[in-house]
Copies of this chain bind each other. A is one copy, B any other.
Amino acid sequence: MSQNAKSTIDLGPLPELIGYVLRRAQLAVFQDFFAAFAPFEIRPAQFSVLTVIERNPGLTQSQVAGALGIKRTNFVGMLDELERRALAERRQTARDKRSYALYLTADGAALMRKLKPVLKAHESRMVGMLGEDRRDALITLLREIADANGSR
């Protein structure tokens, strides 16, 4: 839809609502992420999970899901897919037979190395739009929102 056609539609209170504008901005940034990471078939949430496993090998599923705010049911499906693609693996822990510790495979670690410049280029495009100072201001405001609501 052209800018012109869009501007003739009355969005009412939506463009003034924090949630609506957050969602539009988030989708726009994810669009760039999708395009950049499509050749590797990695979506944003998968990248987050792989990052946390890479940085903290041996965490349990609930620890990783909890740190990222991902619902347990969604997380299980995500991990199944990463395991099927041999990027991450569940290992049974000696202490507790019902819980699994998560690790990257060698392939998963290699993929993460390949993704680093892709991530850097994506983030540069995002920061480039705003400039460093305004990016810092944005991150501060967003963290405040996430922390205030997350702690309820």
Using CB atoms and an 8 Å cutoff, list the residues of chain A in contact with chain B. Answer: 1, 3, 5-6, 9-33, 44, 48, 51-52, 54-56, 59, 62-64, 66-67, 69, 119, 122-123, 126-127, 129-130, 134-135, 137-139, 141-146, 148-152
Max chain B Cβ within 10 angstroms of own Cβ: one of A5, A26, A63: A26
Nearest B residue to A28 via CB reads B149
**Docked CA distance A19–B11 (Å):** 25
Contacts of A1 in B (CB 8 A): 62-63, 66-67
Report whether B3 and A19 are in contact in the complex, using a CB–CB cutoff of 8 Å: no
Taking A13-B119, A21-B146 as known contacts, 7 extra A-B pairs with beta carbons closer than 8 A to each other, sorted by chain A number, are A1-B67, A11-B51, A12-B55, A14-B52, A16-B139, A17-B119, A22-B142
Oligomer: number of copies:
2
Report whether B145 and A11 are in contact in the complex, using a CB–CB cutoff of 8 Å: no
Contacts of A33 in B (CB 8 A): 19
**Docked CA distance A56–B17 (Å):** 19
- Which residue of the partner chain, among B31, B54, B141, contacts A12 with CB atoms under 8 Å? B54
